[in-house]
Amino acid sequence: MSAKLLMVLIPALLSGCVSLDPHYERPQGAVSNQMPSGDAYRSLQGTQASNYRDLIWQDYVLDAKLRQVVAMALDSSRDLREAVASVKSAHAQYGEERANLFPTLSAGVSGTRSRELTGEGNQTAISNSYSAEGSVSSFELDLFGKNQSLTREQYETYLGTLQGARSTRLTVLYNTVDYWLQLAADRSNLAIAKETAESARQSWQVTRKQMENGIASMVDVSSAETTYQSAQADVASYTTLVAQDKNALDLVVGRSVPDNLLPDSIESIGNALREVPAGVSSDALLNRPDVLQAEHNLKSANASIGAARANFFPSITLTGSGGVGSADLSTLFKNGAGIWSFAPGISLPIFQGGYNVSYLKYTKAQKEYYVAAYEKAVQTAFQEVADALARRGTINDQLSSQQSNVAASQTYYHLADLRYRNGVDTYLNALTAQRTLYSARTSLVSTQQAYYLNLITFYKVMGGGTALKESEIMSTQ
């Protein structure tokens, strides 16, 4: 069989197969097309939707220190390295499966030289034999699309793994910003606890002197000491939290973050993150990497059904070779005799003990599983976006009120302490005012942290920066 003939026949055989895959339709109706409404969302009504997928993180993270920390995480995170390795593995498996669509061609040249007895048996003669041939080894004609289905199955698995890497990359970015913000908040709380402890220590000393002078009672002294010791306990607690926050940040980044890249406090980071309009479109939810990964898994299961259906039909394999042979090496490719062999085979699935039927049922059940998984992914995306929108719609009002609360508490404490020191009021009012101020300041820190966290949360739940090419994801390592 000539090479030209093979080149004509093989594409014809490959293109002649049919597909037994079920018709794929994306599941619909898992969630409503309308975003939730209510008081929490009223301030966001009419907001234009933003394309978060094309918004790269460098344009979203504005703080110079945080940018460097995020870049370190995307370069060193072990979670991301695992995800990238999984993509490489899935791509290799896809290439391995795709190779089954093509015949295995091999070529060889051989020669023998031997001394043998002649026909009379009393003389010898030297004989030569040379040959050159090419062969096709057990190539299965994909008439019913089994190999095509298996290749599609593996390809969709690969695409799902790629989306998983995008999701992991976004999670690494989110966790890095989250832990960095947590460290900033706990450093602020530690500073507040130290200030409160020092103020309580001074009040305790003043109260003890007043007791010695017969102005204050033992109850006042005990109350002052209680406030001081409580503040000292908070200092110890926040000192521990700051250390643990740093450890958590180092873990998600993949290496130790230098001290000069750490935030001083939550108040010092300013506009660390870009505030993008919080409008949402339904298409944005379906393009989240976790949702796309679930859909690729569903498509892979759909192709698996096609391969299982093909098991019920005969399989045809072709094995053949062709070449030339000659007794003289110099004339091998000139006057050599043509040699060939052709061995087609057919395999009929007569009895497999119910294997094919059971395997088909299994693939259909797997598709049902991945349909539910896809719908759950869409529902989860909807819920996460709705939660982020609810927080976005109320956080500015909460932040403004909390700032006013701190200002009012500061005035309250200043006046109550002044009245106590002048003997106009009891220490109980001064103590209550001090505790109110401490609670207001720590609550403001929590609200400031929640404000920044909502910005990065919205970037995450909207699939921010995930419109990356595969090469861009792989180049992060």
Print pLDDT tens along the chain (477 aa).
454 455 445 544 554 567 888 888 888 877 776 777 777 777 776 666 667 778 889 999 999 999 999 999 999 999 999 999 999 999 999 998 888 777 777 766 666 766 666 666 566 666 666 555 666 666 677 778 888 888 999 999 999 999 999 999 999 999 999 999 999 999 999 999 999 999 888 888 888 887 887 777 788 788 888 889 999 999 999 999 999 999 999 999 999 999 999 999 999 998 999 988 777 777 778 889 999 999 999 999 999 999 888 888 887 776 766 555 554 545 545 554 556 666 676 777 777 778 889 989 999 999 999 999 999 999 999 889 889 888 888 999 999 999 999 999 999 999 998 888 787 887 788 888 999 999 999 999 999 999 999 999 989 998 888 776 766 666 654
Q: In the chain, what is the straight-line distance between the N-terminal and C-terminal CA atoms, in Å?
A: 49
**10 Å Cβ neighbour count for 26?**
11
- Where do the DSSP E strands lie in 281-388? 315-326, 337-347
| Contact by Cβ (8 Å): 370, 304 | no
Q: Which residue from 15, 14, 17, 20 is spatially nearest to 312, judged by alpha carbons?
A: 20
Strands laid side by side in the 105-117 sheet: 105-117, 124-141, 315-326, 337-347
Question: What is the phi/psi pair of residue 136, to 5°?
Answer: -115, 125
**Distant-in-sequence, close-in-space partners of 364: CB < 8 Å, separation ≥ 6:** 305
| Contact by Cβ (8 Å): 325, 299 | no
pLDDT score recorded for residue 15:
47
- Where do the DSSP E strands lie in 243-398? 315-326, 337-347
Integer Cα distance of 295 and 370 in angstroms: 8
Q: Which residue from 325, 327, 329, 355 is spatially nearest to 340, judged by alpha carbons?
A: 325
Total-model pTM: 0.84
pLDDT score recorded for residue 350:
73
pLDDT score recorded for residue 363:
93
Integer Cα distance of 54 and 361 in angstroms: 41
- 315 residue type, one letter: S
Integer Cα distance of 252 and 77 in angstroms: 6
**Distant-in-sequence, close-in-space partners of 268: CB < 8 Å, separation ≥ 6:** 184
pLDDT score recorded for residue 275:
85
pLDDT score recorded for residue 256:
96
